[in-house]
Chains A and B, each alone.
Chain A
Amino acid sequence: MNLTLPKRLVRQTSEVLLLGFGNGVEEFLSSNFPPPTQMKFWEMNNSFSAYQWLEERAARGRNNLPDAIIVNLGPLRQENYLFLENLKRHPRLRLIPVIGIAFKKSEMPAKKSAIQQGLDDGYIAPVDWRRLENRMQFLIKYKATTYFDEFAQNETADIVKIPFWKRSFDVLVASLAILTLSPVFALIALLVKLESKGPVVYASRRVGTGYKVFYFLKFRSMYQDADKRLAELSHLNKYNSDDKNGALFLKFDNDPRITKVGKFIRKTSLDELPQLFNVLKGDMSIVGNRPLPLYEAEQLTRDEWARRFLAPAGITGLWQVAKGGKDNMTVEERVGLDVEYARKGSFSLDFQILLKTLPAMLQRGE
């Protein structure tokens, strides 16, 4: 779209055609602010001759046309709608902004049909001149340039659609893994249950693809009242520094809330196994961006980072397999990798990440 304006629209004086008002602008303006004197009003009462007049002027070139048309929607109603219909069909006249004025609410057609009939805007008298003029100036400036715009009505549908190959892979791998690892599941469940009171699986609300909130499953690795003690421990937070993004992520080096079994399953990443059920359910994929706790996620809805939420959520992803270990990364680096994954996500990238996941887990376990 080209927004360079025709010279004529930038000039000082505007010409406005008034159709169907016996007393000119006075009839529909509230008295506080009169229009400036350099404004030229053409007053006409017969819509047929008004159209003829416009047609003749249009034939002489667009510099002869008024900048806007104001139509009385009251007494001459039917005739004026025919006038609007004719304007709409004219290749040049249809680009002139048309504003309707009604004197009673009942004279104003429903907005949607008013626009379909050819009005760009409408007011119920009395109208404040400054309001009308502002809107008119805008329409004069932009109606011609936006008239032919077309719009894609809906871009949402495909944005976060998981490809078929990915979903098939997820379902296949997750079911196989659950079947083969069922003894491990049973053993961990038993150990967790034996060591401390509380449920085997801990479900926390996390943010996944498209900011969908779901219950994220892990084997419980903490004592039951762990969440309540989080606040008391915040001074130990590893990321707690003067850096303004510092408090985004909470990590502790030697966290007293963690049970012995918990320490082991965390180190070996076995605590993540129940997420295979999240994968089966469709909450997340095997490979993707880590689903984040609510308080972390809401810090990332910035222009440059929000993209991470458009990629599939996953158990393992780019930052988990990054060189140098994920624990020594800054927040920016981690989110940067998430955004990178959202940009590049593909079958081969998923495959590479998967290949690197096991070594990364083993390295972490040491």
Chain B
Amino acid sequence: MKKSILIIEDHDSIRKLLSVFLSKDYEVVAQKDGLEGISWLGKGNFPDLILLDMEMPRLDGVSFLKNLRMSGFFGEIPIVVISGTDDERSIFQCQQLGIEHFFNKPFNPLVLQEKITNILS
């Protein structure tokens, strides 16, 4: 069975690109911001990995991450961040909360694919 990935990204172009690019190898679901992501998970969906953007309306990446890591059910899901900015504060915050990798846009989708393969194997 294909492993599943949840993409949380507010920009249409990147979200769709990631969805199309990854859907060859994975079951992909995409949501438009952190709150949608949390809400979708809350319905009982457990993806094998989450790709997370940082700057988003309603619930940003760091708040999403914070919340998820507090959860007993969802706290262990591996997360890869793809951020529009690489300010040290948010990198540090993410690492404190536990992420697998921090990508900065522009990113190389082929490297991302390789990272995901490694994490999920």
A residues with a Cβ closer than 8 A to B are: 1, 3, 99, 111-112, 114-116, 120-124, 127, 131-132, 134-135, 138, 142-143, 146, 149, 151, 153-156, 159-160, 210-213, 294, 298-307, 309-310
Q: Are B16 and A211 in contact (CB under 8 A)?
A: no
Q: Which residues of B contact A294 (CB under 8 A)?
A: 108, 110
Q: Are B106 and A299 in contact (CB under 8 A)?
A: yes
Nearest-CB distance from B83 to chain A (Å)?
11
Q: Are B14 and A114 in contact (CB under 8 A)?
A: no
Nearest-CB distance from A16 to chain B (Å)?
16
Nearest-CB distance from A87 to chain B (Å)?
15
Q: Which residues of A contact B66 (CB under 8 A)?
A: 134
The CA of A307 and the CA of B17, in the complex, are separated in Å by 7
Chain B, range 63-96, C-beta contacts under 8 Å to A: 66-67, 70-74, 84
* A154-B29 CB under 8 A given contacts A121-B73, A298-B108: yes
* A310-B17 CB under 8 A given contacts A146-B35, A154-B29: yes
Q: In the complex, which residue of chain B has the Cβ closest to the Cβ of A134?
A: B70
The CA of A42 and the CA of B114, in the complex, are separated in Å by 51
* A142-B71 CB under 8 A given contacts A156-B23, A301-B17: no
Q: In the complex, which residue of chain A has the Cβ closest to the Cβ of B63?
A: A138
Instruction: For A303, give its contact among B29, B72, B84, B109 (CB under 8 Å).
Output: B84
Q: Which residues of A contact B40 (CB under 8 A)?
A: 149, 151
Q: In the complex, which residue of chain A has the Cβ closest to the Cβ of B106?
A: A301
Q: Are A153 and B29 in contact (CB under 8 A)?
A: yes
Q: Which residues of A contact B17 (CB under 8 A)?
A: 210-211, 301, 306-307, 309-310
* A121-B72 CB under 8 A given contacts A298-B108, A301-B109: yes
Instruction: For B19, give its contact among A123, A134, A155, A212 (CB under 8 Å).
Output: A155
Q: In the complex, which residue of chain B has the Cβ closest to the Cβ of A117?
A: B44
Nearest-CB distance from A30 to chain B (Å)?
13
Q: Is B11 an interface residue (CB 8 A)?
A: yes
The CA of A103 and the CA of B66, in the complex, are separated in Å by 25
Q: Are B28 and A156 in contact (CB under 8 A)?
A: yes
The CA of A125 and the CA of B46, in the complex, are separated in Å by 22
Q: Are A306 and B72 in contact (CB under 8 A)?
A: no
Can you list 20 A-B pairs with a CB-CB distance of less than 8 A?
A111-B44, A112-B44, A120-B42, A121-B71, A121-B72, A122-B72, A122-B73, A135-B71, A142-B39, A146-B42, A151-B40, A153-B29, A155-B16, A155-B19, A210-B17, A211-B109, A299-B106, A301-B106, A302-B106, A309-B17
Q: Are B42 and A159 in contact (CB under 8 A)?
A: no
Nearest-CB distance from B29 to chain A (Å)?
6
Q: Are A156 and B67 in contact (CB under 8 A)?
A: no
Q: In the complex, which residue of chain B has the Cβ closest to the Cβ of A339?
A: B13
The CA of A305 and the CA of B20, in the complex, are separated in Å by 16
Q: Are A115 and B109 in contact (CB under 8 A)?
A: no
Q: Which residues of B contact A131 (CB under 8 A)?
A: 70
Q: Are A134 and B14 in contact (CB under 8 A)?
A: no
Q: Which residues of A contact B74 (CB under 8 A)?
A: 121
The CA of A47 and the CA of B11, in the complex, are separated in Å by 46
Q: Is B3 an interface residue (CB 8 A)?
A: no
Instruction: For B107, give its contact among A149, A298, A309 (CB under 8 Å).
Output: A298
Nearest-CB distance from A204 to chain B (Å)?
15
The CA of A127 and the CA of B73, in the complex, are separated in Å by 13
Q: Are B70 and A146 in contact (CB under 8 A)?
A: no
Instruction: For B30, give its contact among A146, A155, A304 (CB under 8 Å).
Output: A155
Q: In the complex, which residue of chain B has the Cβ closest to the Cβ of A123?
A: B72
The CA of A303 and the CA of B44, in the complex, are separated in Å by 30
Q: Is B99 an interface residue (CB 8 A)?
A: no
Q: In the complex, which residue of chain A has the Cβ closest to the Cβ of B74?
A: A121
* A135-B16 CB under 8 A given contacts A3-B58, A120-B42: no
Q: Is B105 an interface residue (CB 8 A)?
A: yes
| Residue in A122, A299, A302, A306 whose Cβ sees the most chain B Cβ within 10 Å | A306
Q: Which residues of A contact B106 (CB under 8 A)?
A: 298-302, 305
Q: Which residues of B contact A134 (CB under 8 A)?
A: 66-67, 70
Q: Which residues of B contact A124 (CB under 8 A)?
A: 72
Instruction: For B31, give its contact among A132, A151, A298, A302 (CB under 8 Å).
Output: A151
